[in-house]
Structures are given as structure tokens and as C-alpha cells.
């Protein structure tokens, strides 16, 4: 079955993969969208493993405050300030800060192990790994701090 332009566009929208990566995955999967998504996910894990040892000293600090009574600060690092300014990286930081505020994580390792609230089939570490595959740089959740009014 031939891969269509519409299939490539749909896969890119679903995964954020590049055009050629989406096309190759669809060809390998025989135009089966779910198989292509799995192929891209597996390739992304391989990319993330290769980048894991690289130093991540850039990034940003993201704050999330809910109703003025609950909040979280996180430090999310990447390799370059260019990636730190991308929408994918900023969205990841926002999602992680919201997760920290909602679920009460007190350190980075605890937060990375949590199930992602918006998609319970993933953990926060898997969300980070997916973004590593998209942006092509190592990403490290360095610090987490949660605040709640009236508690210590």
C-alpha cells in the first residue's frame, strides 16, 4: 500500500516527527498508522539513550501557580539555549510544573516516576524522552520545589 501525503501529515501532527521520518515509518509499517507511531516511539527511545550522557546546562525555570494557593517551580535543562526557547521545550516545562503542583512531588526522581496526569499511559520520564527525540538534545529535570499555602 502506497504512503499518501495525507498519511504523512496525519502522522506528523500526531507525533511531531519530521517528514522523512514519518514517511519511512509509514513505509516500514505498511501504512498502518498505529504501527508507524510505535516505530517512531522506538526510534525516539534510541535517540534519547544516545543523548543521555551529554551535558545539559542550559534551560529554564518554570513556575506554575494554581489559584494563588498552590504552586511549583522546576528547573528543566537542555544542551543549548536555542532548544530552551522552542515551543516543545517550553510546553514540556509547563506540563511538568503543573504535574509537580498537582501531585505533590518533592524531588525530580519522584516526579519523573509519576504517571502523567494528561495521559496515564506515560510517565513524566517518558514525556521527557519523547521531547528529547523531537528536539534532538538531552533534557534533564534537575530540581523540583512545591509550595502550598499554610503548609511547611
Segment 15-24, tens digit of pLDDT: 666 677 778 8
Three-class SS of 14-32:
HHCCCHHHHHHHHHHCCCC
Distance, in Å, from the CA atom of 98 to the CA atom of 93, rounded to the nearest integer, reads 9
Distance, in Å, from the CA atom of 109 to the CA atom of 112, rounded to the nearest integer, reads 5
Contact call for residues 30 and 38 (beta carbons, < 8 A): no
Helix (H, G, I), strand (E, B) or coil at 50: helix
> Is residue 11 classed exposed, middle or buried when 0-12, 13-18 and 19+ CB atoms within 10 A define those classes?
buried
pLDDT at residue number 13: 73
Residue predicted with more confidence, 5 or 69: 69
pLDDT at residue number 16: 66
Distance, in Å, from the CA atom of 76 to the CA atom of 82, rounded to the nearest integer, reads 14
pLDDT, average across residues 131-140: 84
Nearest C-alpha neighbor of 139 from the set 93, 95, 99, 73 = 93
Boundaries of every domain in the chain: 5-51, 58-148
- Window from 76-85, 86-95, 120-129, 132-141 with minimum mean pLDDT: 132-141
pLDDT at residue number 50: 58
Torsion of CA 39, 95, 100, 132, to 10 degrees: 40
Indicate the CATH number of 58-148 among 1.20.1250.20, 2.60.120.260, 3.30.479.20, 3.40.50.1820: 3.30.479.20
Q: What is the CATH number of domain 5-51?
A: 1.10.8.10
pLDDT in tens, 30-68: 888 888 877 777 776 555 555 556 677 789 999 999 988
pLDDT in tens, 67-109: 889 999 999 999 888 999 999 999 999 999 999 999 888 889 9
Amino acid at each position: 500500500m502506497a504512503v499518501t501525503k495525507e498519511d504523512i501529515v496525519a502522522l506528523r501532527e500526531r507525533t511531531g516527527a519530521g517528514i522523512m521520518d514519518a514517511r519511512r515509518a509509514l513505509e516500514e509499517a505498511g501504512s498502518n498508522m498505529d504501527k508507524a507511531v510505535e516505530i517512531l516511539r522506538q526510534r525516539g527511545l534510541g535517540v534519547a539513550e544516545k543523548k543521555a550522557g551529554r551535558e545539559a546546562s542550559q534551560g529554564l525555570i518554570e513556575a506554575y501557580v494554581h489559584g494563588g494557593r498552590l504552586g511549583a517551580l522546576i528547573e528543566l535543562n537542555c544542551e543549548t539555549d536555542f532548544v530552551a526557547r522552542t515551543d516543545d521545550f517550553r510546553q514540556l516545562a509547563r506540563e511538568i510544573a503543573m504535574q509537580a503542583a498537582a501531585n505533590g512531588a518533592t524531588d525530580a526522581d519522584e516526579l519523573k516516576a509519576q504517571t502523567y496526569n494528561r495521559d496515564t499511559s506515560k510517565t513524566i520520564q517518558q514525556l521527557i524522552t519523547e521531547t528529547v527525540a523531537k528536539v534532538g538534545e538531552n533534557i534533564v529535570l534537575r530540581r523540583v520545589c512545591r509550595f502550598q499555602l499554610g503548609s511547611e
